Amino acid sequence: MCCQILNAEQLHLYIGNGSSDGISKALLDTDTGVISEPRITSPAVSPNFLVFSKGKQFCYSTTRSKHSDGKSNLGGVSAYLRTEDGTLVFLQSRLTGGTGACHVSLDRTGTCLFSANYGAGKVSSYKVKVDGTLSPAVSVIEHKGKGPHLHRQKSPHAHSAYASANNKFVYAADLGTDSIEVYSLDEKTAELKSVATVACPPGSGPRHMCFSLDGSFLYVLNELKPSVTTFKCDLASGGLTMGKTIPLLEDGVKNIACSEIRMSDDGRFIYAANRDLKNEGRDSISVLSVDGSGSLKLIQTAPVGVWIPRHFDITPDGRLLVVAGQKSNAVVTFHRDPATGMLKPTGKRIAVKLPMWIGFVRP
């Protein structure tokens, strides 16, 4: 898609949120970290997680709608066309077959979409059509089991799903069951079939994940026990072998819950967000180095200055990291040193209602 170039140092910044206002768009200056005033670009109800297609022509978000009982929320995914000026034009919505849609992702070809439903403990798949719209759900798989945490693990809570590097498998993190569900993927139809259930550390609450650049390692962010667990991936079978778990905080720290994990584009650093549930100023981003063997080492814990850093992302040039402070109703920016991975606050922030997702597109 052809796009008008606004400024070589500006990006379109998209912000998903937990309100009924819709998806916001702003301009981000990658030199200074300054963000323009966000404007609603497409109405939506609780678009708390988004994903763009490879060519950035289409966007997909989680959505919610009221059940006929007027009480429970039905999970959904919506499709949008991105126009030349960056506006998102609504195309279509599909139900996910569960409640609490919290995550969406695309496979490596961009022709299959996956959603995770926290409330229902289900993972759904869809075929993406040429015009960007979605088929009805092809597979809707309900997870089983529970974990040892008395309040957070009474039932399954699917929190994310990602395609493997070779696009043959999908890995789904379930916070409620302390497991990674492994599914085979038929990329022609988007059908998922259960292959294995891989145990995570008890009570850890696996939430989100990222792969090493070659796909041979899977790094799992644990929400309930702030840490990252490394798994070795068998790309032929889809199997996972658990390695070390690296704590992100000191022993005994309570009321901290992790939210998001990202790997830098060069594969040398991993970033993880820690949310202070008590609002005592302990919200932070952990920075970990990744060595040649895939092992991790914690090298920085950077205070973020916002409450509940729900999501963050790194700009394409690697020089900025942008954080969505959900309960501070603010988005803040950090300078990032590509050589060392270290973060330093820019001092720039912008007011946004309940920001829960951050993403960039070059105009």
Residues 226-254: tens digit of each pLDDT: 999 999 999 999 999 999 999 999 888 99
Same domain membership, residue 291 and residue 357: yes
Look up tokens 């279509």; give the residue.
Answer: 92
Q: Of 196, 220, 247, which residue sits at a domain end?
A: 247
167 and 231 share one domain: yes
Domain housing 345: 1-41+256-363
Which residue ranges in the chain fall short of pLDDT 70?
1-8, 66-72
Q: What is the pTM assigned to this prediction? A: 0.95
pLDDT of residue 330: 98
Decide which of 247, 267, 290 is a domain's last residue: 247
Q: Are residues 27 and 83 in the same domain?
A: no
301, 306, 315: which is closest to 271 by C-alpha? 301
In the prediction, which pLDDT does 98 show? 85
What is the model's pLDDT at position 3? 39
Nearest-10 Cα torsion for 58, 60, 63, 65: 60
| pLDDT at site 247 | 98
CATH number for the domain spanning 324: value is: 2.130.10.10
Distance CA 275, CA 323 (A): 12
Do 209 and 279 fall into the same domain?
Answer: no
Among residues 275, 328, 358, the alpha carbon closest in space to that of 16 is found at: 358
Same-domain status, 227 and 287: no
pLDDT at 145: 98
Same domain, 198 and 306: no
In terms of domains, do 234 and 108 share one?
yes
- Angle among Cα 160, 166, 168 to the nearest 5 degrees reads 70
- Alpha-carbon distances of 258 from 9, 42, 271, 297, rounded to whole Å: 31, 29, 11, 17
Whether 141 and 220 share a structural domain = yes
Same domain for 286 and 208: no
Same domain? 243 vs 272: no
User: Which of 247, 273, 302 represents a domain boundary (last residue)?
Assistant: 247
Regarding whether 132 and 165 lie in a shared domain, the answer is yes
- Number of structural domains the chain divides into: 2
Residues 64 and 136 reside in one and the same domain: yes
